[in-house]
Amino acid sequence: MPTLNLDLGARSYPIYIDSGLFENEKLFSDHIRGKRVCIVTNTIVAPLYLEKIKSKLTNFDVDEIILPDGEAEKSLANFERIMSHLLKNEHGRDTTLIALGGGVIGDITGFAAASYQRGVDFIQVPTTVLSQVDSSVGGKTAVNHPLGKNMIGAFYQPKAVIIDIDSLVTLPVREFNAGMAEVIKYGILGDYDFFVWLENNISSIKAGDKTLLAEMIERCCQCKADIVANDETEAGVRALLNLGHTFGHAIEAEQGYGNWLHGEAVATGMVLAGKLAVAMNLLEVSELCRIESLIEAFDLPLQAPETMGCDDFTRHMRRDKKNIGGKLRFIVPTAIGKSEIRDDITQETLQQIL
């Protein structure tokens, strides 16, 4: 039984969240239509989990692509490499791609699946906190362009998402904490009770308590699934998921991708969005302090890089995909558990908080 279902009519799919799922042979085969499978992964994840997954797919003709690690590899060059591999190995339209890894692998594999022969099936097998709570659910797929992150992509949903909590055991602490920024985001943007639950469970989560991690990931996926089911292509409410991302993307772009992890930039971005809300009298200072404390508890940064001024931020923020009609749009928290999309933020207010 799936833990959750993302309800999108004909494009609905199950999300499985548990320990030991990589041992479950049937779970994988139930979501593979044809005989052929190509697993896309990277040099870090392959030695950890590739053979395990392959050993569960003995009834299929399986090959793999092992990309180098890192955000820089979410590129058109590697997209082409995947296309060439599939063509050379004569994968047909009934092949299934499996994305085994973090958000980088999930995004590029999803886009490859959307494009190869106009679309083949794919399964998300996310192995980082960030990809388990965010990028593997919802069907946003992309590669980066030198002129902008995620600038080339498609909305394309997987056939299933298989989240084995056990895979987090090997994740470096810094990556774990970066993923926690997206977890905290769900609490701030729309779920006060979840925010309190996180405040109450900080040490057990950091200690890797599997029951708590499963519950945490399920609550995040449920939140994302609800939002995506209401707004698949981000015409409205889905934009709330970008809380902290307008500032965060600017930090990532300015500092060079990889120097600040995505989640770290989002953590600081959420603090800046909170400061913006306080400056506009939309949020109580005491609530901003609680947000900062929770972020800090996971060793995430609260302050933008000292070298970055207001102009550096606005230069990047003008390119944001959320902007409409030349106006900067921000998601701002109006309370813990409530947020709004605003496009009435003045340059003076920005200058004040940056």
Ligand X SMILES: NC(=O)c1ccc[n+]([C@@H]2O[C@H](COP(=O)([O-])OP(=O)(O)OC[C@H]3O[C@@H](n4cnc5c(N)ncnc54)[C@H](O)[C@@H]3O)[C@@H](O)[C@H]2O)c1
Catalytic residue list contains 242: yes
Catalytic residue list contains 215: no
Q: What tokens appear for 320 in the block?
A: 């944001």
Report d(CA 188, CA 182) in Å as an integer. Answer: 10
**Residue 164 binds to ligand X (criterion: CB under 6 A):** no
Stretch that binds ligand X, among 82-90, 163-171, 186-194, 308-316 (CB under 6 A): 163-171
Stretch that binds ligand X, among 17-25, 111-119, 131-139, 319-327 (CB under 6 A): 131-139
Site string for ligand X, 260-299 (x = CB under 6 A): --x-------------------------------------
Q: Which is nearer to ligand X, 150 or 314 (CB)?
A: 150
Among 18, 69, 199, 292, binds ligand X (CB under 6 A): 69
Q: Which is nearer to ligand X, 114 or 130 (CB)?
A: 130
SS3 assignment, position 333: strand
Q: What tokens appear for 36 in the block?
A: 């052929």
Strands 4-6 and 13-18: antiparallel
**Residue 175 binds to ligand X (criterion: CB under 6 A):** yes
Report d(CA 224, CA 240) in Å as an integer. Answer: 10
Minimum CB distance to ligand X, residue 134 (Å)? 4
Catalytic residue list contains 262: yes
Q: Kindly list the strands in the beta sheet with 96-101, ordered across the sheet, starting from the edge strand earlier in the chain.
A: 4-6, 13-18, 160-164, 121-126, 96-101, 36-42, 61-67
**Residue 222 binds to ligand X (criterion: CB under 6 A):** no
**Residue 102 binds to ligand X (criterion: CB under 6 A):** yes
Q: Which is nearer to ligand X, 3 or 150 (CB)?
A: 150
Strands, E, within the chain: which ranges?
4-6, 13-18, 36-42, 61-67, 96-101, 121-126, 140-145, 148-155, 160-164, 330-335, 338-342
Q: Which is nearer to ligand X, 44 or 328 (CB)?
A: 44
Catalytic residue list contains 145: no
Stretch that binds ligand X, among 67-75, 84-92, 274-282, 305-313 (CB under 6 A): 67-75
Q: Which is nearer to ligand X, 278 or 341 (CB)?
A: 341
- Which 139-158 residues touch ligand X, going by CB under 6 A? 140, 150
Contact assessment for residue 165 and residue 210, using Cβ atoms and an 8 Å cutoff: yes
Among 50, 65, 103, 253, binds ligand X (CB under 6 A): 103
Catalytic residue list contains 149: no
SS3 assignment, position 138: coil
Stretch that binds ligand X, among 42-50, 81-89, 277-285, 316-324 (CB under 6 A): 42-50
Catalytic residue list contains 245: yes
Minimum CB distance to ligand X, residue 348 (Å)? 31
Q: Helix 245-255 crosses helix 262-279 at what angle (to 10 degrees)?
A: 130
Tell whether the torsion through CA atoms of 72, 76, 79 and 81 is positive or negative. negative
Strands 96-101 and 36-42: parallel
Transcribe 14-35 into DSSP letters: EEEEETTGGG-HHHHHTT--SS
Report d(CA 331, CA 216) in Å as an integer. Answer: 23
**Residue 249 binds to ligand X (criterion: CB under 6 A):** no
Active-site residue set = 118, 140, 182, 224, 234, 238, 242, 245, 249, 262
Residue numbers at the binding site for ligand X (CB under 6 A): 42, 44-45, 48, 69, 71, 74, 101-105, 107, 127-128, 130-131, 134-135, 138, 140, 150, 167, 170-171, 175, 262
